[in-house]
Chains A and B, each alone.
Chain A
């Protein structure tokens, strides 16, 4: 086969088209994942305002919500986000979410894993995971300033 015919082969065109499309899709998904990890997206439902405000006031303000609230590995993160997103959408529309919103065991486990993921080195020489099940059992203010007066965290909806 000549060199010219390789460039002109329809197979090559399809391959190239597919490659470009693939890049667009991957970049798109990546962008979409980033946006939907972030505080502005999460806070776009008013019921999340308290969590968003207290995050923005906290030391973790420059991290995204899902740096704590979803698994970091992609193969776990995608189904987790889809499941949580569908549930939250349901509860915000058809469902009847009540205040206060209290995290379930699964979220607590995921958040705790992510504490350890970033802060492993600080805890290398101590058995800090043994006495208390969760890091935030001591680092309580990390739970969205939960021990602060209500007026520092929440206002009524319009």
Chain B
């Protein structure tokens, strides 16, 4: 320690002398980024090789292993996002109790947890109950690896467009959870460490709007590297099977996506011909859209995004490494974890950390409160259409047409709340859009209820009276294993719309296959 102090002092004094003697050159306003030559081959993918070359950056990256700190609405404990009954790490007070009901019949009803550090990306997918582990095949396409590993560069090169529709479980055994998880090569050229895009769907989008993915400014890249994954996407049904696409051709907002999905599917359902759907909700028989983490689309026209403040500005603030070197933090997490709110105070230096934190949390509280209301009304809309669907009394003359409209409003109402629910800023990335989207969602779900009432000449009215939580109880627990148990499926009125799965034992343990191929 003492040696280090003496060394640093001598070094500092010498530096001062050199500076004074050299006549002191002025700064360069070009802000040239440092240049590197790693000596790695151009097609290098794994993370561990970078540990020796960039020890400080790697140490910062390894901080993503932390999975115990919670903020008010977010954090890194991977609790079940529907569970507001159990304590951490299973549940949390600010959970969304109706998620399993609203995603009934879709893999998200089995498992949907709070997100955490990139270093867990592979491990958490391997352990997820969304892909089927009770058979060799997962039932999900290999596209599910698209945002989890730099190996994508090799796999899509080897298999071309045939890659996407292979079964995702076929690739489990090839993965090393630490070396292959979201890491260096997802954003960096392995030789020069320049920012680069690996993502096929993002490059497709950029080309579609006339941009060259290899010639983007540093300012653009500081968000686009995140937009490779933190976006809404879907798997193509009409073109290359299961290829990932970002539904951005009409714009980034929920209404734009709703319109986009009207034109990009293969549905033959009456009233929904040619539309895209992710699954049919078994209770209301509605062709549904699932929205996934639209951080980029939400941020882009929010107060920070429209001012050009990038993802990296807040999530990768410049810090000083152990040797005093100025470097980007590679600990991607909630900026609210820092008691000093340093990332914010790069700009908001005149505000106290407490003030900044309160500003964020107040937006999040408003958003979260309205989100739960929108979800309750969405459940009520599914229930109303279910009742109308099963109603045997005298129906309105235009019953069929009204039911198509009601289902369309369920679909739209749910797309809207999911756009906010799936987004990880809890409103903060774009407060006005979040609250406006939730207000619209409430309006569409109510419209679905009105139409279902009208279709039955208001006969279903009494069945919808009272607290929705008593009419349709929230489903707290559901898994692929529990769906094999006919007794368990008697515990919630909505379960009767699910098939009992055949009895089976688990065949995958992480990357290891336990069954007979």
Which A residues are closer than 8 A to B by beta carbons? 35, 38-41, 43-44, 46-47, 49, 52-53, 56-57, 89, 92-94, 96-100, 102-103, 137, 143, 146-158
Contacts and interface: CB of A to CB of B under 8 A. Distances in A.
B323 to A, nearest CB: 9
Top 10 closest pairs, chain A to chain B, by CB = A40-B24, A93-B12, A44-B19, A52-B27, A157-B326, A158-B34, A149-B308, A150-B313, A100-B346, A93-B8
Contacts of B27: 39-40, 43, 49, 52-53, 56
B156 interface: no
B219 A152 contact: yes
Contact of A99 (B16, B309, B346): B346
B33 A156 contact: yes
A111 to B, nearest CB: 13
Interface string B27-64: 11101111000000000000000000000000000000
Given A99-B317, A158-B34, 11 more contacts: A39-B26, A46-B326, A53-B27, A147-B307, A150-B346, A151-B31, A151-B219, A152-B31, A155-B34, A156-B318, A156-B327
B9 A151 contact: no
Contacts, number: 120
Interface residues of B, number: 43
A154 B12 contact: no
A148 B304 CA distance: 10
Interface string B285-318: 0000000000000000000000111101100011
Given A151-B218, A151-B222, A157-B327, A102 B313 contact: no
B347 A94 contact: no
**Dominant SS among interface residues on chain A:** loop
30 contacts: A38-B24, A44-B24, A46-B326, A47-B320, A52-B26, A53-B29, A92-B12, A92-B324, A93-B9, A94-B9, A96-B320, A96-B324, A97-B324, A99-B320, A99-B346, A100-B345, A100-B349, A148-B308, A149-B222, A149-B309, A149-B313, A150-B318, A151-B222, A151-B310, A153-B31, A154-B31, A156-B33, A156-B325, A156-B327, A157-B326
B24 A156 contact: no
B69 interface: no
B350 interface: yes
A147 B347 contact: yes
Contacts of A92: 12, 324
B159 to A, nearest CB: 36
Contacts of A57: 29
A149 B310 contact: yes
A57 B29 CA distance: 7
B19 A143 contact: no
Nearest to A56: B29
Contacts of A151: 31, 218-219, 222, 310, 313
A149 B219 contact: yes
Contacts of B25: 40
A157 B36 CA distance: 12
A150 B310 contact: yes
Nearest to B325: A157
A47 B326 contact: yes
B342 interface: yes
A22 to B, nearest CB: 23
B318 A99 contact: yes
B488 interface: no
B269 interface: no
B20 interface: yes
A41 B317 contact: no
Interface in B151-179: none
B327 A102 contact: no
Nearest to B326: A157
Contacts of B24: 35, 38, 40-41, 44
B80 to A, nearest CB: 36
B319 interface: yes
A65 B15 CA distance: 20
Contacts of A40: 24-27
A61 to B, nearest CB: 9
B11 interface: yes
B209 interface: no
B328 interface: yes
Contact of A155 (B31, B312, B342): B31
A2 to B, nearest CB: 49
A40 B27 CA distance: 7
A146 B347 contact: yes
A158 B307 CA distance: 28
B19 to A, nearest CB: 4
A57 B31 CA distance: 12
Contacts of A103: 349
Contacts of B346: 99-100, 146, 150
Contacts of A143: 349-350
Given A56-B26, A149-B308, A150-B313, A97 B320 contact: yes
Given A47-B326, A102-B345, A156-B328, A94 B5 contact: yes
A108 to B, nearest CB: 9
B8 A156 contact: no
Contacts of A155: 31-34
Contact of A98 (B309, B319, B328): B319
Interface string B472-487: 0000000000000000
B319 A146 contact: no
Nearest to B350: A137
Given A56-B26, A57-B29, A94-B8, A157 B34 contact: yes
A82 to B, nearest CB: 14
A96 B20 CA distance: 24
Contacts of B12: 89, 92-93
Nearest to A108: B350
With a 10 A CB-CB cut-off, give which of B19, B25, B313, B326 has the most chain A CB atoms: B326
With a 10 A CB-CB cut-off, give which of B11, B20, B222, B350 has the most chain A CB atoms: B350
B342 A99 contact: yes
Given A35-B20, A151-B219, A156 B34 contact: yes
